[in-house]
Structure 1
Amino acid sequence: MIKSMNIAWWVQRWAELTPDKAAILFEEQTISYQVLCRRADRTSCWLQSIGIEKGDRVAAMLNNCPEFLDLFLACARLGAIFVPINFRITSVELDYFIKNCRPRLFVHGDAFADAVNALELESYLPPMMVAVVGEAQFNGRMFDFVEETKNFDGKRAFLTRSLGPADPEEPQVIMYTSGTTGKPKGAVLSHRKTFFNCLNADIFFKLHFSDIMLIFLPLFHSGGLFIQAAPIFYKGATIVLHRKFDPITIYRDIEKYRVTKFLGVPTVYRELLKVDPEKRSDISSLRVCAGGGEKLNQDLIKKCAEAGLAFRQIMGQTETSILLWASEDDPLKKPGTVGRPVFHAEVSILDERGRAAKPGETGEIVVRGSIMMKEYWQDPVKTEETIKNGFLRTGDLARMDEDGFFYLKGRAGDMYISGGENVYPAEVEKILKLHPDIEDVAVIGMADETWGETGHAFVIVSSGASLTQADVIAMCQGKLAKYKWPKKVTFKSQFPRTSLGKIRKGDLS
């Protein structure tokens, strides 16, 4: 039994040591560690009452809210596997997620009722229970999550041994990440991975018991859940939780709550810089700002520093969380660097022959150690392709200098990042090719002032057919989340190709 690797136990210990300490500040509501522990307990009891057992999947499609974290903690307490789902996806994508992970329980917010109601949930096999957070039209198939859990207030889960885990490699979360094959993959993340990720974040953020962390990044992503929320609970510090991103509210709450730690993608920093200086609040309390998730440029780094938002950079992925980080000064000394490896991981660059690349040589970033995912859920083929000889292949190409600093050279698989969201061209191409008048298509990322990168689709139209940009983009409606839609379409008569017939995307223009 290794209780120290279970996040539910961290919250319980802080509830015993500092019961009145604020754990979550959410929309004028203060939730102490004692109250948070009670909420996790009553949620655990309710889950047990409806038959949720160790290893069962519990999926959640929720905005940032305390109920999200209640479920996260309760699943960890019971040994159930928590599955956070991106609320930006369409019903088609949601259908795939549910059929892939087969949850015993699906909890969704009332704001996403349209996407959920488009599915015939009662026909899913095995049968799945459904609960709603918020106002909704309830029927015999649905639970009212808030009311149901209130019935167990003051009670504790009867399976006290479940606070283990018996094995730290037991799965805690399945977090979906898009794949180059066009199908999302469920990264299985263990309790051990969460623990060591928190140790890395502790060092990176210089976390302290007195810290206040503002979180607006979606909790369904690794950034919000594993780089911010989990490390704060580990440290016994405080979260200021925002339901969504709003630059004015962020400035206001940094001053109001004296926020000390902050994480955002570059798109967020660009939006913060657009706010008129006279409308910005006092942000002098900030001790560490972090940025990652997109390509960074020196101009943005400089403007942020001038505005009091000097940030340290991070790079990682769902399968590993933080891999590399750079201090505020590193980009000045080493322009273009994405930093050096985190403390609790072995991060290397391997050449095409699988040998360690020499300084200056380009190769693939690989990682080994306790921050690796276990596997891709029910996908042994993709797991074997990704984890080789004990190393997880990230798909990112980079070089390393003699001082150990990494520099990105590109991404295997052509992935690009739009507004902090990973977009894999293969997934978009697969949908566009469904159009009967599209003969071939290639999608790449292009620079965008607002989102960092957006999609650019190159299309070959079938002989005798005629299409407009609007026709092409309309194919994404209802099939892809909007951030995946290409922003620009260029029609071509042919594509540049290699001798093997593969499209040379680097030559598209």
Structure 2
Amino acid sequence: MGADPPSGFYAIAAADPDRPALIDDDGTRHTYGELLALVHQVSHGLRARGLGTGDVVAGVLPNGVEAVVLLMATGQIGLYYVPVNWHLTEPEIAYILADCDAKLVVAAPEYAGKVPGAEPGVRGLAEGQPTTAPAGRTAGAVMWYTSGTTGFPKGVRRALPGTEPEAIVPLYTWFLGEVVDLTPGDDVHLVTSPMYHSAPCAHTQFALHLGHTVVITRRFDPEHVLDLVERHRVTNAMMVPTMLHRMLRLPRQVRERYDVSSLRQVIHTAAACPVEVKRQIMDWWGPVLYEYYGSTESTIAFAVKPHDWLARPGTVGRPAPTFEARILDEDGREVPPGEPGLIYVKSGLGRFEYHKDPAKTAASMRGEWYAPGDIGYLDEDGFLFLCDRRTDLIVSGGVNIYPAEIEAVLLDHPAVADVAVIGAPDEEWGHTVVAIVQPAGGAEPGPELTAELLAHCAPRLARFKHPRTVVYRDSLPRTPTGKLSRSRVREAYLAGLAGR
């Protein structure tokens, strides 16, 4: 019997350096050998800056080779890597950098103004460094920042494995094969979403560990994505439901112009996908849509393959391997199949903690069980159906938006006496942000005040968090203890929409 093929990016690149690794949006190509040489140089460069095991490096980098190199370089020398959303404002970025205790920040030139003192890209770290593997290689980890109901982002941190990075690859390979039928080989993975989100970043890393070629686009454009699929014979991709919806809005003659027959797995996550959207995509692309449900904290907790979904439209699947699930009522009692309750999951893959916030970590757990905060029910066969996202969370285009953060900014404006921010259903985006404002005495509600409030948001909130709609009310409902009753605000607003 022959020897097993090399496993994982670093081993594959050493054994097969001419294998195509990366195709950037501008057409630039990198082989596995070229990519590995740059990864090694950056690993040496990080150590030369004094970084050691357990230290934190942050990256404010667009989709492209530099983001991939920093991900893989930190991943072999025991560092935590924090990808930062480049759409955030300077104060929002500064908060994350301070909270994560970043020892070094790498920022692309176009974002340097938001990150004073940052290293200008990875090339400077690589300059003059050897292309050989660093000594004492040990696996790092990515620490993603996710917001809580307070609106303040917290880092989701897991213990470092304490092994060489190759040691954890077999677990990745087995898990992905079980969940989404991805296997090692000559496949081609398409990155369609910003790599500061957990799923696109993780799938990029997974693809390289499987030996796939990674095609990266800087920003999502539906026809451009179809062109990339045809041109590079893409076999697998990760998308969010908003992208699928935008694909379906293309004129039929445009859709029929491109050959998408190479697609075998299109994985979607991050938000609920309307049943009809998913049906139409599979009518077009074939039964290739794989779905999983989870969170940055829980990772992939439930998953469903195309034919199982077609037999049970609307499900997000059964518990993924190593996961268990329970549905509990408000008193913590398990409910029978078909009855909605709060979803709890438990995994054998290891626990997480919120960086520097043990109270928040404890509040999210019931013993070993984690609550993503969503309501759902299990059918008789153990398939999960979601009823609603957590009450206050707005999911727009697959991105979590937290009302409390937007409310705090708007309340800082002298013309605002009170405000409630909610998500309104939107066919394309899932939800859009709506601010219901109670003007302060003397403030005149209308288009001028709306423009003033949006201008007030501009330097304080990333654009995707800005309200799409601002409406005015004389007062907002609060509980006897003074807490804003966002559910009553939402019900009244949606009833008004339905009555139009």
Q: Distance in 2 between matches of 1:484 and 1:199?
A: 38
Q: Distance in 1 between matches of 2:351 and 2:90?
A: 27
The 1:59/1:198 distance shift into structure 2, 3 A limit, reads farther
SS at match of 1:417: strand
The 1:55/1:199 distance shift into structure 2, 3 A limit, reads same
1:333 aligns with 2:282: no
Aligned partner of 2:472 in structure 1 is 491
Give 1:498 deviation, angstroms.
Answer: 4.5
Matches for 1:433-448 after TM superposition, within 5 Å: 433-448=411-426
**Aligned match for 2:460, one of 479, 486, 489:** 479
Q: Distance in 1 between matches of 2:294 and 2:88?
A: 22
Give 1:359 deviation, angstroms.
Answer: 1.0
Q: Distance in 2 between matches of 1:391 and 1:303?
A: 36
**Aligned match for 2:152, one of 172, 183, 186:** 183
Q: Distance in 2 between matches of 1:441 and 1:373?
A: 37
Q: Distance in 2 between matches of 1:371 and 1:198?
A: 14
Q: Distance in 2 between matches of 1:38 and 1:344?
A: 35
1:225 aligns with 2:205: no
The 1:309/1:93 distance shift into structure 2, 3 A limit, reads farther
AA in 2 matched with 1:161: G
Aligned partner of 1:132 in structure 2 is 120
Aligned partner of 1:109 in structure 2 is 108
Q: Distance in 2 between matches of 1:413 and 1:465?
A: 31
1:99 aligns with 2:98: yes
| Aligned partners of 2:340 and 2:375 also within 8 Å | yes
Give 1:500 deviation, angstroms.
Answer: 4.7
Give 1:153 deviation, angstroms.
Answer: 4.1
Matches for 1:424-435 after TM superposition, within 5 Å: 424-435=402-413
1:162 aligns with 2:137: yes
The 1:372/1:360 distance shift into structure 2, 3 A limit, reads farther
| Aligned partners of 2:180 and 2:305 also within 8 Å | no
1:415 aligns with 2:414: no
1:392 aligns with 2:401: no
Aligned partner of 1:127 in structure 2 is none
Q: Distance in 1 between matches of 2:230 and 2:113?
A: 37
| Aligned partners of 1:199 and 1:344 also within 8 Å | no
Q: Distance in 1 between matches of 2:133 and 2:11?
A: 15
Aligned partner of 2:13 in structure 1 is 15
**Aligned match for 2:191, one of 215, 220, 223:** 215
Deviations 1:361-410 (A, max 9, x none): 22222222244552111111111111331122211111111111111122
Give 1:114 deviation, angstroms.
Answer: 3.1
| Aligned partners of 1:199 and 1:231 also within 8 Å | no
AA in 1 matched with 2:295: Q
1:284 aligns with 2:235: no
Q: Distance in 2 between matches of 1:411 and 1:247?
A: 27
Q: Distance in 2 between matches of 1:337 and 1:113?
A: 43
Give 1:15 deviation, angstroms.
Answer: 2.1
Structure 2 residue ranges without an equivalent (≥5): 1-5, 494-500
Matches for 1:178-327 after TM superposition, within 5 Å: 178-190=147-159, 199-208=174-183, 209-226=185-202, 228-279=203-254, 280-308=257-285, 310=287, 311-327=289-305
Deviations 1:170-192 (A, max 9, x none): x6121101111121111113456
Give 1:161 deviation, angstroms.
Answer: 2.5
Q: Distance in 2 between matches of 1:301 and 1:180?
A: 30
Give 1:200 deviation, angstroms.
Answer: 3.0
Give 1:488 deviation, angstroms.
Answer: 0.9
Q: Distance in 2 between matches of 1:9 and 1:75?
A: 19
| Aligned partners of 2:90 and 2:114 also within 8 Å | yes
Q: Distance in 1 between matches of 2:172 and 2:475?
A: 46
Deviations 1:319-358 (A, max 9, x none): 1222222222344432332222211322322222323332
AA in 2 matched with 1:271: R
Aligned partner of 1:77 in structure 2 is 76
Q: Which moved more, 1:350-359 or 1:186-195?
A: 186-195
| Aligned partners of 1:63 and 1:218 also within 8 Å | yes
SS at match of 2:231: helix
AA in 1 matched with 2:182: L
SS at match of 1:473: helix
Q: Distance in 1 between matches of 2:60 and 2:438?
A: 37
Q: Distance in 2 between matches of 1:461 and 1:147?
A: 51
Q: Distance in 2 between matches of 1:30 and 1:383?
A: 42
AA in 1 matched with 2:382: G
> Would you identify which runs of 4 or more consecutive aligned residues in structure 1 move more than 6 Å?
none
CA RMSD of aligned residues (A): 2.3
Give 1:80 deviation, angstroms.
Answer: 1.4
Aligned partner of 2:85 in structure 1 is 86
| Aligned partners of 1:175 and 1:189 also within 8 Å | no
| Aligned partners of 1:205 and 1:261 also within 8 Å | no
The structure with higher relative contact order (CA 8 Å, sep 6+) is: 1
Deviations 1:295-338 (A, max 9, x none): 22122122212322652222221112222222223444323322
| Aligned partners of 2:72 and 2:205 also within 8 Å | no
Q: Distance in 2 between matches of 1:389 and 1:11?
A: 36
Q: Which moved more, 1:491-500 or 1:386-395?
A: 491-500
| Aligned partners of 2:179 and 2:304 also within 8 Å | no
Deviations 1:252-281 (A, max 9, x none): 111111111121111111222233343341
Q: Which moved more, 1:26-35 or 1:286-295?
A: 26-35
SS at match of 1:300: helix
Q: Distance in 2 between matches of 1:222 and 1:148?
A: 24
| Aligned partners of 2:7 and 2:209 also within 8 Å | no
SS at match of 1:286: coil
Q: Distance in 1 between matches of 2:482 and 2:311?
A: 42
Q: Distance in 1 between matches of 2:212 and 2:46?
A: 27
Aligned partner of 1:365 in structure 2 is 343
Aligned partner of 1:350 in structure 2 is 328
| Aligned partners of 1:91 and 1:116 also within 8 Å | yes
Give 1:85 deviation, angstroms.
Answer: 0.5
Deviations 1:115-173 (A, max 9, x none): 235xxx5xxxxxxxx2112xxxxxxxxxxx3144131142332xx3332x5xxxxx612
The 1:262/1:475 distance shift into structure 2, 3 A limit, reads same
Q: Distance in 1 between matches of 2:303 and 2:327?
A: 16
Structure 1 residue ranges without an equivalent (≥5): 1-7, 122-129, 134-144, 166-170
Aligned partner of 2:126 in structure 1 is 149
The 1:319/1:71 distance shift into structure 2, 3 A limit, reads same
